[in-house]
Structure 1
Amino acid sequence: MESIGFLMQGFGLALQPENLMFAILGAFLGTLIGALPGLGPANGVAILIPLAFTLGLSPETSLILLTSVYAGAMYGGRISSILLNIPGDEPAMMTCLDGYPMAQQGKAAEAMAISAIASFIGSLIATIGLIVMAPWLASFALTFGPAEYFALFVLAFATLGGITGKNPVKTIMAAAIGLIIATVGIDASTGTQRYTFDILELYEGIDFIIAIVGLFAISELLFFIEENAGEGKPMIAMNKMKLKMKDIVAILPTAFRGGVLGFIAGVLPGAGASLGSFISYTLEKKILGKKGNFGNGDPRGVAAPEAGNNGAASGALVPMLTLGVPGSGTTAVLLAMLISLNITPGPLMFSQHGDIVWGVIAALLIGNVLLLLMNIPMVGIFVKLLSVPPKYLLPVVTMVAFVGIYSISHSVFDLYFMVAFGVGGYVLRKLEIPLVPVILGMLIGPEMEKNLRHAMQLSDGDWTILIGSSLSITLWCIAIAGLVLPVIVGPILRRRMGAAKATTGV
């Protein structure tokens, strides 16, 4: 009941005219960004972070804007999947399996509506789970000491490769790069300069926002120029919607199951929306068996992955808000935004910044309703964006990134640094080295170092304190499993997803 009271206070904050306006704007922009193949929510949020600084928004309004962008991008990814057979982002790949065949059968509008409804149900279930689970997990995390927190941070790195099949060696390399970058600046404990090369601008370390906009937004722009610099792509025309109530009722059990599975996948650090989408579709296919027509335009084949990936998106906020450990690439970007606003996510956030936490959760609920109301009648507007040549969109996106970063510090050096990170991110992606571990290393590296030092001081240098409690031992065991399991499970999952791609020609 206490959570309900806090949630009502959150609604009071989220329904303020300015916050509501930016929630609507974020949902709209997020859907547009999600509709563009390849961009995805992480890049969308990274691109728009400078906008929040440029407009001088309060921390509450900034987070409401960006979480609305996050939710909107998860909705928008289905548009290109259904009309172009090109996933808007990786989690939307499973939507291609039945969404595109429905469009080929003249049911594109029905597929769009079903995906919007399923996305709403998945997000709603996960947000309710966030309301119930987050305060409990935050209270439990208060029992953590420095040794337990260090083990938790190791766990966060170990699970990044996760069951999604990324190369564990490259994940560790990326995390090491992030940790090295995190040490740049003057050591707060000893006053020693580390990797500053006598450059004055590096004495205070590297700004998270500059690194994130460079690694995500600028590198994505370079890829976008390389791969999509031509004209818009031809797509299947939208038909007049003929969706009936019985069609909606038929997909409700599927959407409910997908939302629950997606939430569970989202809470697991490193698993995220791709896993939520995959297991939701796979389970639904097994449950229905011969009763389904999966792969040939079954509406439940659209509802399952959409509910799963949107459920996972909200579920990924649980570890970020309660433990300070991002559950996905997008929540890593949001974590950087919080840190840049001098707000430290973790168990104390609910007591120290409860108004912001519950305001964001209330905004998620409001945003999902807005997205449902927005995505069905306005889907034609979002569809038209796909026909706009990227050469007209790229200058606008680039301008937002550069103006936003310059407005933060008014430093030309930061612009050069942002471009350098963008080129570095482009090279890493070419080498198939993931960017999320780099960002995670930068974000939690300082806290990881601080907790390790604190633990060593408490034990007079005895390293066994790191495995001195049952909780820390449990976290270390899970971390080891997180490193080993991808080697075993990853190839199996990649083969199945590869088979799914081959089936649809994605």
Structure 2
Amino acid sequence: MLETLLSNLALGFETALSLQNLAYAFVGCLLGTLIGVLPGLGPATTIAMLLPITYTLPPVAALIMLAGIYYGSQYGGSTTAILVNLPGETSSVVTALDGYQMARQGRAGAALATAGISSFIAGCFATLALAAFAAPMAELAFKFGPAEYFSLMVLGLVGAVVLASGSLIKAIGMILLGLLLGLVGTDVNSGVARYSFDVPELTDGINLVAIAMGVFGFSEIMNNVEQGEHRETFTNKVTNLFPTREDFRRFLPAALRGTALGSVLGILPGGGSILSAFASYTLEKKISRHPEQFGKGAIEGVGGPEAANNAGAQTSFVPLLTLGLPSNVVMALMVGAMTIHNIQPGPQVMTSNPDLFWGLIVSMWIGNAMLIILNLPLVGLWVKLLKVPYRYLYPAILVFCCIGVYSINNNTFDVFVTALFGLVGYVFIRCGMEAAPLLLGLVLGPMMEENLRRALLLSRGDFSTLVTRPLSASLLAATVLLLVIMLLPAIKKSRDEAFQEA
């Protein structure tokens, strides 16, 4: 077992250390840090924008770059959260609570170093966990038939609803809307166009990238423009980047707890970096001997959440690479990137594309080392980027979004679809509805339908096949149990409190 793992990691290092892949890992980390620093952007928007570019790249290089953008954005978001109380990423909202207070007390260097070191520890551990558990999970996935995959996806969608922030009813509504949008297009079995309303461009379904750019890119820009420019400027010089011995004594245990918590929550459907950061902050505050210090510059409130959000970001690749199941919206876009290169996400990736599988995993170790170098010594550069006026930044983003959408099919229809879903996404924001469940429903819906119909075809229309097969029945039972637990008043209250801590 160990010998096989070492052999696979050797293949991964050989792939990831090629000059081309190193360059794309650096580009991904650099872009990730940049979008983490700049508010109004995010990994989902940026990856959606860059998907058309990956057409021309080798599959390994494309995925390494997109992965670097995702986990790199977790690093960048903490920089502005600490210095100017402006979280570049949603998961960095928690970091701002104590990180900004530390900066006001003249300890910005210690806060930034704590965030960087905690993120590095978490990234390395989470990547090791990904390497260790990938092969056993892939072996298990080979035992899955259509019924098991359908039940797994039902569990994934329910998990995404339960772990989504805000109202459960709204999250369910977004999932259902995503499932309905996934029905648009040509029926795989009969070849008949459905819900296309005789619009030729809809016969292949609604473009995933167009929807993603609309609900995450256009809508966020519209919302930020409405709020106007309210940015502080950090004028003090960042000094003493190395934490003291007392700082290490306080934040290292929190970082280790955050790493463990984030590694587990990242694997769960709907989990990832955001939930991990909120959960870690709640945990640290509850177990602290001095909870009154939280919100006033407690270094544990920086180390724990930063470790958790980075660990959650990296372990969210586990269900994607081993089961073909995206656990969050960024992983749903990664499915799109793999599909572009005719790669079917799931356990067969490990056997049919071992260089891609292990090269991607090893690139995360390399990327974490790059991010330490990019974030701490270049703090001054990232702060200067905040001075770029929104009136220049946002129109440029909109232009790049439109060019990217158009270039996929060379079709202006996709641009209009993006604009339409930009308006829809803006309405979602104003109504307090999270858009991520919609995209998960859109990606998983067609896969669920295909596997359900295959299962029924094999069982000659007998729905009992979903509960008579042990593995499928276990997954459905877990789904029901999850629903029952989350409906219990005490659990529901704890869930709401976890998301209200910030």
TM norm structure 1: 0.92
- Equivalent residue letter for 2:404: G
User: What are the ranges of 5 or more consecutive residues in structure 2 without an aligned counterpart?
Assistant: none
Q: What is aligned with 1:397?
A: 397
Alignment of 1:251-266 (within 5 A): 251-266=251-266
Q: What is aligned with 1:504?
A: none
Alignment of 1:431-450 (within 5 A): 431-450=431-450
SS, match of residue 162 in structure 1 = helix
- Equivalent residue letter for 1:48: L
Q: What is aligned with 2:188?
A: 188
SS, match of residue 434 in structure 1 = coil
Range with bigger deviation, 197-206 or 488-497: 488-497
Range with bigger deviation, 356-365 or 271-280: 271-280
**2:215–2:421 CA contact under 8 A, matched in 1:** yes
Deviation sequence 1:190-236 (CA, Å, 0-9, x none): 121101222222222223222222222222222222224x3643346
Alignment of 1:215-364 (within 5 A): 215-228=215-228, 230=229, 232-235=231-234, 237-241=236-240, 243-244=242-243, 246=245, 249-250=248-249, 251-290=251-290, 293-364=293-364
Identity over the aligned pairs, expressed in percent? 39
Shift of 1:293: 4.2
Distance in 2, Cα, partners of 1:211 & 1:295? 37
Q: What is aligned with 1:52?
A: 54
Superposition RMSD in Å: 2.2
**1:37–1:86 CA contact under 8 A, matched in 2:** yes
In structure 2, the CA distance between the partners of 1:242 and 1:336, relative to structure 1 (3 Å rule), is closer
**2:45–2:212 CA contact under 8 A, matched in 1:** no
**1:83–1:236 CA contact under 8 A, matched in 2:** no
Shift of 1:275: 2.7
Distance in 1, Cα, partners of 2:434 & 2:283? 28
Deviation sequence 1:152-202 (CA, Å, 0-9, x none): 111111011224543222222222222222222221211211012222222
**1:99–1:302 CA contact under 8 A, matched in 2:** yes
In structure 2, the CA distance between the partners of 1:399 and 1:14, relative to structure 1 (3 Å rule), is farther
Alignment of 1:471-490 (within 5 A): 471-487=471-487, 488=489, 489-490=491-492
- Equivalent residue letter for 2:33: T
**2:94–2:305 CA contact under 8 A, matched in 1:** yes
**2:34–2:73 CA contact under 8 A, matched in 1:** yes
In structure 2, the CA distance between the partners of 1:340 and 1:52, relative to structure 1 (3 Å rule), is closer
- Equivalent residue letter for 1:98: D
Q: What is aligned with 2:493?
A: 491
**2:73–2:89 CA contact under 8 A, matched in 1:** no
Q: What is aligned with 2:5?
A: 3
Distance in 2, Cα, partners of 1:495 & 1:288? 17
Shift of 1:288: 4.2
Q: What is aligned with 2:108?
A: 108
Shift of 1:376: 0.8
Deviation sequence 1:232-289 (CA, Å, 0-9, x none): 4334634322524625642333322211111011011112223322332333344441
Shift of 1:95: 1.1
In structure 2, the CA distance between the partners of 1:389 and 1:482, relative to structure 1 (3 Å rule), is farther
Deviation sequence 1:406-437 (CA, Å, 0-9, x none): 22222222222222222222223333333222
Which portions of structure 1, spanning 4 or more consecutive aligned residues, are displaced by more than 6 angstroms? Answer: none
In structure 2, the CA distance between the partners of 1:166 and 1:344, relative to structure 1 (3 Å rule), is farther
- Equivalent residue letter for 2:408: I
Counting matched residue pairs gives: 497
Distance in 1, Cα, partners of 2:282 & 2:175? 31
SS, match of residue 197 in structure 1 = coil
Shift of 1:331: 1.5
- Equivalent residue letter for 1:266: G
SS, match of residue 173 in structure 2 = helix
Range with bigger deviation, 103-112 or 159-168: 159-168
In structure 2, the CA distance between the partners of 1:110 and 1:176, relative to structure 1 (3 Å rule), is same
Matched, 1:178 2:178: yes
**2:338–2:345 CA contact under 8 A, matched in 1:** yes
Distance in 2, Cα, partners of 1:493 & 1:440? 21
SS, match of residue 126 in structure 2 = helix
Q: What is aligned with 1:420?
A: 420
Shift of 1:381: 1.0
Distance in 2, Cα, partners of 1:268 & 1:484? 17
Shift of 1:314: 0.6
**1:46–1:216 CA contact under 8 A, matched in 2:** no
- Equivalent residue letter for 1:437: P
Shift of 1:101: 1.2
Range with bigger deviation, 278-287 or 317-326: 278-287
TM norm structure 2: 0.93
**1:109–1:238 CA contact under 8 A, matched in 2:** no
Deviation sequence 1:369-419 (CA, Å, 0-9, x none): 000111110111111222222111112212221222222222222222222
Distance in 2, Cα, partners of 1:49 & 1:215? 16
In structure 2, the CA distance between the partners of 1:429 and 1:296, relative to structure 1 (3 Å rule), is closer
